[in-house]
Structure 1
């Protein structure tokens, strides 16, 4: 694998999307920490200091291009989406800059308040136990689909107030919505995704209207009751699109790490003391962030990491690389939940775009470890299991996790 020089030869896109991007990241940090990749059409940023600078300066690095929204799709896909979806006036927090972002972030933080998250704890525990009860007698499980995804999605549905009869259908619609913003998705999948998203949009709008008339104790009712119903679609799509995958990958990834032979002592300590779970989750976030990073748009000519970047260029801060920067985290490849600076990682963002659901994601992951270690203490990786990661430009996580006990 070859990496570029600062003159502009390609950063290794296959390495970036591969099962183990960390050698490529390490080489980039040492030789070309800010480098343009023609495949990504972006300047990849790999050192902690530079990534933190990008995240902390929204005036210079706009979030307008954080996620390529629907206009980037073909005319056929846009036609299938329909004008109602394309012209929806809702604002997406992830692509908003100040001053719009300030109001969106404030309202989003209120919707996912500490009190609301804490109130979900009993439901999260109960769901985790129910999920384990379904497969504990089998002696084996594929944990991503049978546990991690179901726990993450079910929790978000509870938070939103999504009715049970909508949940199974909506789960597939979330996947289809994401393919519309994935530059690697096939055209036929994007077309199918547009149809699914249009149906999903109509269902959510109808549900919000119903909650305006008959409110319940959930986010959708609060949106409808506070004059924010126009934001409902943006909040639902953003919350599910971001929250399912990052939390699913976090849960499966930390379990996979702890069950590897070299890390098994941490699993045994977790069994003996569930209070160890938060530090284990935090170090996993640091060592193997489930979110790769989102694009930024340079609003002016700027120098970053010694490289001149012109206004209008796309910049991609790679948080997974920043979190393994040797200048910040000694022995960065080592899994060490006792690190003094463990909370300095950037896995959940920094600055105005720090994840509003971070508290909920941490709670779900900690709960998952507590429940799994208590109920499956002898769990192990299947002998023939080979980790494979989803080839996503946005997320890093296992496609599956095969366990036995």
Structure 2
């Protein structure tokens, strides 16, 4: 799906003589240039169509992520389009009942749940997975043998992160496609402007998704294994004051989505950017030790999360703009991560950039992404194997890249490449 043409783009204007109005924040290839202009001319601007204030400067976004006195995350999961009553009825009758996600919670409940998550999702859990991640990657790349043109999204970056996170969740390989399809439906109705038809179809899939997760939790309650859900149940130890069964189902549901969709998008975005910025691609082909910092640069330049939301809870000011309690904010990581005050030559993917890890794509502070270390590990393995096999890989010139219509995610619908001769 192609993103819409932005309205209200530069030069900026005011709504009702008061609010500075700027470009729509949906992803398109012109988004970064538009946000750069906004950051220079009016770093906090209003989008009437969405009733959101977009915040573009790094220092402002960093403050929002860490200032819990003036901002909270209650609106993180707010849908762009309210659900149609028929879709709501399907969800209600289907027993769809996940609780607010951890991303939208505040202390002390957030602290209680985060402690449980931190006990399981950590480097000690992720690092032993590297041989399996590499084996999966090699197996997928072996399918390219004898071919030149492939869609990397369809044949590599779409399924690999799902297989990895499902190793942690204990979801069998035979269910990967179904869960990925359900997750894709969730993306459409939770993070994109959806039609009534999409909402009806999405609601049916969400019910199936939720029932699958509930059945998985019940099975692990009766038959514990060495997986994420079983370990949450062990942490709970029968005490609802630690975690309820519905909270465990919600956490499993959330991880089965966030644990692969964002990594799929990030891998795809990074590879596409490296194809455009050949010097960086050639650098990691020659010296794989530069890959970790290139990953940080990819997270900065082409993050899978382009905007994230907060609500003002106490009157405050950002970049000279007064914001009342109740105002809804959209932190533009797409703009903040390219703020020249933080990152000189911000549009350059620089393998040697010393502060690349300051990127905000994984968030910061109490809401920083649990799976950041796993995503970095997956991207490292994929880039190591791709550069080793296909150093001459290029984008297919006659295959333009379209993206999902979303102001939350940068999500390509395909990534066609010409592999070139296999090295060695």
Report TM bin, short chain.
over 0.9
Alignment match of 2:10 (pick from 2, 22, 35): 2
Unaligned runs of 5+ in 1: none
* TM score, norm. by length of structure 2: 0.89
For the pair 1:233 / 2:242, whether they are aligned, the reply is no
Corresponding residue for 1:143?
A: 152
Distance in structure 1 (CA, Å) of the matches to 2:26 and 2:190 = 18
Bigger CA drift: 212-221 or 363-372? Answer: 212-221
Displacement of 1:385:
3.1
The question of whether the paired residues in 1 share the 8 Å contact of 2:210 and 2:253 is answered with no
For residues 196-345 of structure 1, the aligned pairs below 5 Å read 196-227=205-236, 228=243, 229-260=245-276, 263-345=277-359
User: Helix, strand or coil: the match of 1:189?
Assistant: helix
Distance in structure 2 (CA, Å) of the matches to 1:210 and 1:102 = 27
The question of whether the paired residues in 1 share the 8 Å contact of 2:306 and 2:334 is answered with yes
For the pair 1:113 / 2:122, whether they are aligned, the reply is yes
Corresponding residue for 1:397?
A: 411
Distance in structure 2 (CA, Å) of the matches to 1:96 and 1:86 = 19
Alignment match of 2:372 (pick from 348, 355, 358): 358
Displacement of 1:84:
6.3
Corresponding residue for 2:40?
A: 30
Distance in structure 2 (CA, Å) of the matches to 1:336 and 1:363 = 20
Corresponding residue for 1:130?
A: 139
User: Helix, strand or coil: the match of 1:352?
Assistant: helix
* TM score, norm. by length of structure 1: 0.93
Displacement of 1:106:
1.8
Q: 1:255 to 1:178 in 2, by over 3 A?
A: closer
- Structure 1, residues 33-69: CA drift from partner, whole Å, max 9, x if none? 1111111211100011111111111231110101116
Displacement of 1:217:
1.2
User: Helix, strand or coil: the match of 1:397?
Assistant: coil
Displacement of 1:86:
4.7
Q: 1:301 to 1:329 in 2, by over 3 A?
A: same
Displacement of 1:4:
3.1
For the pair 1:11 / 2:3, whether they are aligned, the reply is no
For residues 359-398 of structure 1, the aligned pairs below 5 Å read 359-398=373-412
The question of whether the paired residues in 2 share the 8 Å contact of 1:204 and 1:233 is answered with yes
Q: 1:183 to 1:135 in 2, by over 3 A?
A: closer
Alignment match of 2:85 (pick from 52, 68, 75): 75
Displacement of 1:338:
0.9
- Structure 1, residues 248-306: CA drift from partner, whole Å, max 9, x if none? 1221222222222xx32332332232212101111111112210122111112111111
Displacement of 1:2:
2.1
User: Helix, strand or coil: the match of 1:137?
Assistant: coil
- Structure 1, residues 191-247: CA drift from partner, whole Å, max 9, x if none? 111111112211211121111222111102212333343223322332233232321
The question of whether the paired residues in 1 share the 8 Å contact of 2:96 and 2:206 is answered with no
The question of whether the paired residues in 2 share the 8 Å contact of 1:209 and 1:224 is answered with no
The question of whether the paired residues in 2 share the 8 Å contact of 1:205 and 1:232 is answered with no
How many residues of Structure 1 are paired with residues of Structure 2 in the alignment? 401
For residues 147-226 of structure 1, the aligned pairs below 5 Å read 147-226=156-235
